[in-house]
Chain A
């Protein structure tokens, strides 16, 4: 769905939902998830509706993802090697 404008010169390895994946270095976690096409990135804990990054600038809170154990806005964090990312999907059974 999304592609990079220029080829990534560098990649970093992160863990996404327990599986190691490579993503372009220097992008936000939200951009990396969109690049990988791993949407939805969560389900609303209130309505259960599917959600994905939207504003990409920290305002809408739609891109919440668990990063190293803490739920946070994926658009506000740059990917780092070894990061543990977990999408907050309904099937997890723990949507908080």
Chain B
């Protein structure tokens, strides 16, 4: 095959999932010519199998800057969702009416109380939350069983429909003139003069700047340009039920009710390598836990289950990395592509457009933190 060069891109984004699409929108909005090189439909696709939470509570309990970053991201969401809807007509069904994380044992309660306290401390006391005992919790959600000890609640949490979000971001990219190339799996990158050459199965692309947003593949792809991005896959299985009357008016970490009435029951966190299958054992465990929390769900029918490989960094926080060896090369890896979507389209895109300038908040997320 002869090599086909596409010379004109300022920025090539490798990966068209939630992370790549959000960053592509942000960079294209600054006027840069952007191409997104996406993988195939049968690649691992964390963005097509996630839960949809915009979640603050508990994150960064042991990493204060991550707690701050997450709160900033969640606070940008309303405005971002409105902007997406204005530009694309797609309503991503954002609901930021709070979130509950149920505690079924006193150990869970103690661990949760500690995390929430730390996150509040990291925010200088601004993070709002309550630890609700069982009786208080049942005044919020009467369907919760007597077996549930309580829950942590934060009004800062919420959820979106993650599939509508992906669609809105892709529509927005197209509107901003981003060239989206599906089924262009990248296999290598190299420096070429002032820029980079990115080789795909369907020809090569030349660009000034490259941003890897390729999920688990960032680890292998980053090495080409001197970046060490440590990642591991974490399998999450989710269950989907029939549509039922609305009884959840806020998000919970265990069960999410979509605007259409469907219940999404999740999710597992399994360290099983590159295996995205579903297992009866985990489906049973997830369904049992959901029924322990909400006994009336015993009568609701499950329609399907899926597994997806989520991205996990060694400390659970995102990686925003700039290559020192090859200025112009970046890697973005995170577990929470939904929660952080607004931040990616704004702060992270600006950071990249500004040449990865030192920023006290974003600088804390360099992969250099793992070099010991």
Where the two chains meet, the residues of A that have a C-beta atom closer than 8 Å to any C-beta of B are: 44-46, 61, 64, 70-72, 95-96
**In the complex, which of the residues A46, A61, A96 contacts B246, with contact meaning CB atoms closer than 8 Å?**
A46
**In the complex, which of the residues B245, B260, B303 contacts A95, with contact meaning CB atoms closer than 8 Å?**
B245
**In the complex, which of the residues B245, B296, B300, B303 contacts A46, with contact meaning CB atoms closer than 8 Å?**
B245
Closest to B296 in A: A96
What chain A residues lie within 8 Å of B299 (beta carbons)? 96
- The answer, yes or no, to whether B244 is at the interface (CB within 8 Å) is yes
Q: How far in angstroms is the closest Cβ of chain B from A6?
A: 34
Whether A71 lies near B301 (C-beta < 8 A) is yes
Whether A45 lies near B301 (C-beta < 8 A) is no
Whether A96 lies near B303 (C-beta < 8 A) is no
Contact with A along B1-19 (1 / 0, CB 8 A): 0000000000000000000
Within 199-258 of B, Cβ neighbours of A (below 8 Å) are at 242-246
- The answer, yes or no, to whether B134 is at the interface (CB within 8 Å) is no
Q: How large is the interface on B (under 10, 10 to 19, 20 to 34, 35 or more residues)?
A: 10 to 19
What chain A residues lie within 8 Å of B246 (beta carbons)? 46
Whether B260 lies near A64 (C-beta < 8 A) is no
Closest to B245 in A: A45
The main secondary structure of chain A at its interface with chain B is loop
A96-B244, A96-B245 as given contacts; A46 in contact with B301, CB under 8 Å = no
Whether B261 lies near A45 (C-beta < 8 A) is yes
Contact with A along B287-303 (1 / 0, CB 8 A): 00000000010011101
Report the bound CA distance from A71 to B301 in whole Å: 7
Report the bound CA distance from A61 to B260 in whole Å: 13
Report the bound CA distance from A95 to B300 in whole Å: 11
Closest to B259 in A: A46
Q: Mind listing 13 A-B residue pairs with CB under 8 Å? A: A45-B243, A45-B244, A45-B245, A46-B243, A46-B245, A46-B246, A61-B242, A61-B243, A61-B303, A64-B242, A71-B242, A96-B296, A96-B299
**In the complex, which of the residues A44, A72, A95 contacts B301, with contact meaning CB atoms closer than 8 Å?**
A72
Q: A45-B244, A46-B244, A46-B261 are in contact. List 6 more A-B contacts (CB 8 A).
A: A44-B261, A45-B261, A46-B245, A61-B242, A61-B303, A96-B245
For B245, B246, B300, the residue with the greatest tally of chain A CB atoms inside 10 Å of its CB is B245
Q: How far in angstroms is the closest Cβ of chain B from A72?
A: 7
What chain B residues lie within 8 Å of A46 (beta carbons)? 243-246, 260-261
